[in-house]
Structure 1
């Protein structure tokens, strides 16, 4: 993959998904736990295991709980910063974080605390951005850049990146000194349209399919036929990153460059 290729970051919450993403040609992994909750901080054990198995960069989500407010107390930030230190010790190549105020503005103070602790490691500001005021999107991107974030993950203030593609195109055209990375709802069927509209150089997807089959290196996730559930998420089938979906996305991106 050359430096001019459009890069795919795959978000995963399991060893099997990460292996499939790497095998399929992803450029980078966003490692989380609980993607059904929007992605939470992953375990150090999962990170360390993957660092021994794959050689693409792994960025770790720093999000201590579910919820779409992204308003963190000082105690929660203490936990986030401790997670950062632990995950860095176990090989994290970068981090993903976002914090807002009660007014849905960028929480500069908490982001500064995190960037200081990251000490120059690359950090992506995640889709908390999509809860901010769209009319202030350029001002907010400038704030995020000045804080030192290297990337911004966004769906363009809409439920999916394809719906928000016009906003994303405006952001990408104006802020060429920062990587604006479309994410949310990107699939094989809409990827070509998204790339054409936004002119992005990186994009973010889960590349998932229903679990139950062997994925890669003999690793897989099963959906068991059972009357006992482990929580409300069991109502829907478990999904997992599919190596073939990753490959198809990579091929579409290579054709579009």
Structure 2
């Protein structure tokens, strides 16, 4: 099982890996849902995790708030992605929406154009799509070659256990074409039974291991 630990900067990464985290999502500013960490943090995290053979997924998000980015913000994201790639990150995590809460196809294609050779995760911006649009997005993401979708299966205000039915629908629809990565409120105690119910082998969270 892959336990992806959502890390705010470098601080908890050594303890998380020692506790069984075998992939890291590296962020800054988790109070707003995670933003791009500094290049120094990225480099140190990659150096440490690399020694332990633990891959690092770097968040590419220029600010908190919504997921609608203007041209300047998108340029910042593009540059941050290139810097993270040059530093040796194993993958990147991003998500872009239009004001109508649909996938921003143009922005996504720009970011993917700079992601060659990296793992890619579309983050929880996915949860703001309507259910119908989520199934459409899965088909499109498969065509684009995105590796996984991080999703809570519904509003973060609800425990993930209440979203299992929809998560199972997404997983069944994906049918192995793309990884559906459940996250948000999963703990070291609930990760194995939850993954068992969903039939998945990857999960994500800030408490996915006991620190």
TM-score where L is the length of structure 1: 0.75
Structure 2 residue ranges without an equivalent (≥5): none
**How far did residue 164 of structure 1 move?**
1.4
**How far did residue 41 of structure 1 move?**
0.2
The corresponding residue for 1:125 is 122
Q: 2:79 aligns with which of 78, 82, 95?
A: 82
Q: Which has the larger radius of gyration?
A: 1
**How far did residue 137 of structure 1 move?**
2.2
**How far did residue 195 of structure 1 move?**
1.7
- Bigger CA drift: 9-18 or 27-36? 9-18
Deviations 1:19-61 (A, max 9, x none): 1121122121000001111000011101111222222111100
The corresponding residue for 1:53 is 48
Report the count of equivalent residues.
205
Q: 1:26 aligns with which of 21, 35, 38?
A: 21
Deviations 1:130-175 (A, max 9, x none): 0000133211211222222101000012324322111111111221
RMSD between aligned alpha carbons? 1.6
Query: Equivalent residue of 1:197, what SS?
Result: helix
Deviations 1:158-214 (A, max 9, x none): 324322111111111221111100000112343344223211121001118xxxxxx
TM-score where L is the length of structure 2: 0.91
User: Which aligned pairs between 1:1-257 and structure 2 lie closer than 5 A?
Assistant: 6-55=1-50, 56-67=54-65, 69-159=66-156, 160-175=159-174, 176-207=176-207, 245=210
Displaced runs of 4 or more, over 6 A: none
Maintained 8 Å contact 2:96/2:125: yes
**How far did residue 82 of structure 1 move?**
0.5
| Mapped partners of 1:105, 1:115: distance in 2 | 17
Query: Equivalent residue of 2:63, what SS?
Result: coil
Structure 1 residue ranges without an equivalent (≥5): 1-5, 209-242, 247-257
Maintained 8 Å contact 1:111/1:147: no
Maintained 8 Å contact 2:58/2:84: yes
